[in-house]
Amino acid sequence: MATVTTRLCVVGGGPAGMMAGLLFARAGIETVVLEKHADFLRDFRGDTIHPSTLDLMDELGFTARFRALPQRRVESFSGVVDGRNYRVADFSRLPTRNRFLSFMPQWDFLDFLAGEAGRNPSFRLIRRTEAQELIAADGQVAGVRAQGPEGPVEIRSHLVLCADGRHSRMRDCAGFTPRAFGAPIDVLWFRLPRRDGDPEAAAGRFGPGRILITLDRGDAWQCAYVVPKGGDAALRAKGLPAFRNAVAEIAPFLSDRTAEIADWDAVKLLTVTVDRLTRWYRPGLLCIGDAAHAMSPVGGVGINLAIQDAVAAANILAGPLRAGPVAEAGLARVQARRMFAVRTTQALQRVIQSRVIAASLKADAPLRAPLALRILDAVPMLQVLPARLIGMGVRPEHLRVPTQA
């Protein structure tokens, strides 16, 4: 069996894993990232780059190269209730350098991070290689066994960072089971063309029994149609024409193109999960990102939290890891640092899921905008609060880990 020896083994090349790989390698830590797929090309994975991540790009000195990538800026987010527009979040008021959200295909962002990480001699991304089990030695995790294109491979490391997403296999191997909070909704993703004269801002459209989120992707609208938990099968059973009509009713400006939803294959189901681990670590192993906490899609903050976890992990662990294996106390510090943000964000998401979203899905008469929405729209200064939660998160992380020359 081939063996690779390294300081840090990151399992998973999503936002958490690629950012962690980049930051640790940049700090001079020998780092291997394992990604089971050959590329990052997976659709509907969340394409939002938040102001805190954009600021991080500046802190890393990537500004010019990052801005050169095709992306779409969004400065506000609105709620549309029964056809009336209520502005909810205004990112231009944020106390950040970058006062907007960027929409960029996630694969472009991950390719960018891989390219930047690859400039560091201590970084190695091994694709088409799936971690399958943990290696244990002297009572602690000492690496992973993986299956690559040329056969099995052992990665021996001082630390395994599990960033393998919400169905994390490494988390299972570590004996961890997340606490699930349940979610009253699922989401169907699809895309429709964007045309001249369409509304400008990204928006959540609420009508009796239906919700549609439309995100501006330049030449297309990325659309999220929210259904009650498990409602996907019933919706599909009603047939595609009924679905097209429902979309047109809630977003009349799309009615001239709903026929472009050619078949059900164009509509992808995201089963919404909200969960988190009580304990993110054991000796030699730490979970971050969705592997530690799957977020609700409310607010579209999953990528941001995953990236913030990576920054906190690098800030806290790069120094100790340079010297050798990391004490459990260091791993506990990462969890302690990030848990507050995760807990608070999930609590808010769950309130919005049950009080606003599920209530709207149950309604069978025209909706009245919730009081909070009407207040936000009437007092623009307050629109910075949701913008802050979405754009920066509860505890934004800043880079403190020095670059190793």
Ligand X SMILES: Cc1cc2nc3c(=O)[nH]c(=O)nc-3n(C[C@H](O)[C@H](O)[C@H](O)COP(=O)(O)OP(=O)(O)OC[C@H]3O[C@@H](n4cnc5c(N)ncnc54)[C@H](O)[C@@H]3O)c2cc1C
By CB under 6 A, residue 357 contacts ligand X: no
* Residue 232 vs 290, nearer CB to ligand X: 290
Q: Min. distance of Cβ 69 from ligand X in angstroms? A: 17
By CB under 6 A, residue 270 contacts ligand X: yes
* Residue 145 vs 374, nearer CB to ligand X: 145
* Residue 269 vs 332, nearer CB to ligand X: 269
Residue type, 25: A
Written as six digits, the tokens of 79 are 């709620």
Rg, Å, the chain Cα set: 22
Candidate segments 36-44, 57-65, 192-200, 314-322, binder of ligand X by CB under 6 A: 36-44
* Residue 96 vs 377, nearer CB to ligand X: 96
When binding is defined by CB under 6 A, the residue of 164, 216, 275, 377 that contacts ligand X is 164
Written as six digits, the tokens of 148 are 């690559």
By CB under 6 A, residue 21 contacts ligand X: no
* Residue 208 vs 228, nearer CB to ligand X: 228
The residue among 373, 346, 389, 386 whose CA lies nearest residue 183 is 346
Q: Min. distance of Cβ 297 from ligand X in angstroms? A: 5
Indicate the helix (H) or strand (E) that contains 140: strand 140-148
When binding is defined by CB under 6 A, the residue of 303, 321, 331, 376 that contacts ligand X is 303
- Residue 160 φ/ψ, nearest 5 degrees: -110, 120
By CB under 6 A, residue 17 contacts ligand X: yes
When binding is defined by CB under 6 A, the residue of 51, 204, 289, 386 that contacts ligand X is 289
* Residue 184 vs 300, nearer CB to ligand X: 300
By CB under 6 A, residue 163 contacts ligand X: yes
Strand partners, 239: none
The set of long-range contacts for 356-362, using a CB threshold of 8 Å and a minimum separation of 24, is 357/184, 357/185, 357/211, 357/226, 357/298, 358/184, 358/185, 358/228, 360/206, 360/207, 360/208, 360/209, 360/210, 360/211, 361/184, 361/185, 361/209, 361/210, 361/211, 361/226, 361/227, 361/228, 362/209, 362/228
By CB under 6 A, residue 28 contacts ligand X: no
Cβ(60)–Cβ(115) below 8 Å: no
- Residue 259 φ/ψ, nearest 5 degrees: -60, -15
The residue among 25, 6, 7 whose CA lies nearest residue 310 is 25
By CB under 6 A, residue 10 contacts ligand X: no
Q: Characterize the bridge pairing of strands 159-162 and 285-287.
A: parallel
Q: Min. distance of Cβ 303 from ligand X in angstroms? A: 3
By CB under 6 A, residue 14 contacts ligand X: yes
Number of residues that bind ligand X (CB under 6 A): 34
By CB under 6 A, residue 105 contacts ligand X: no
By CB under 6 A, residue 186 contacts ligand X: no
- Residue 45 φ/ψ, nearest 5 degrees: -110, 5
Pairwise CA distance, residues 367 & 208, whole Å: 6
* Residue 284 vs 377, nearer CB to ligand X: 284
When binding is defined by CB under 6 A, the residue of 57, 89, 301, 316 that contacts ligand X is 301
DSSP designation for 7: S
When binding is defined by CB under 6 A, the residue of 28, 51, 143, 302 that contacts ligand X is 302
When binding is defined by CB under 6 A, the residue of 48, 102, 335, 345 that contacts ligand X is 48
Cβ(98)–Cβ(55) below 8 Å: yes
Q: Min. distance of Cβ 268 from ligand X in angstroms? A: 7
By CB under 6 A, residue 217 contacts ligand X: no
When binding is defined by CB under 6 A, the residue of 46, 79, 105, 207 that contacts ligand X is 46
By CB under 6 A, residue 130 contacts ligand X: yes
Angstrom CA distances, 69 to 19, 30, 47, 104, 236, stand at: 17, 28, 13, 8, 37
Positions touching ligand X (CB under 6 A) are 11-17, 34-37, 44-46, 48, 130-131, 163-165, 169, 189, 270, 289-291, 295, 297, 300-304, 306
